[in-house]
Amino acid sequence: MNRLIPIFVGAIAILAFATLMLVVVPGAQIRDQAPAPGLADYTPQQLAGRQQYINQGCVYCHSQQPRAA
């Protein structure tokens, strides 16, 4: 019972550190990143397709994150 508080504090510290490393640091790194050159606005047809993609829940399984070829 004497070790309950140090274990709890250690667990909270580990979770806080993991959150910092996995959420806060990457977010800070990309916050000021400019859009890639040559990007154009979506056409009305692309906007409609994007909205349908989101409404049907496709975004939960199929990422549209750009990847290196």
Whether the Cβ atoms of residue 15 and residue 7 lie closer than 8 Å to each other: no
> Could you write out the DSSP letters of every residue in 25-40?
HHHHHHTTPPPPTT--
Question: Which pTM value belongs to this model?
Answer: 0.48
pLDDT at 10: 96
Question: Looking at residue 49, what is its pLDDT?
Answer: 92
Of 38, 62, 39, give the one whose Cα is nearest residue 50: 62
- Could you report the per-residue pLDDT of 4-62, keeping only the tens digit for each? 999 999 999 999 999 999 998 988 888 888 888 888 999 999 999 999 988 998 877 77
* CA pseudo-torsion sign 56, 62, 65, 67: negative
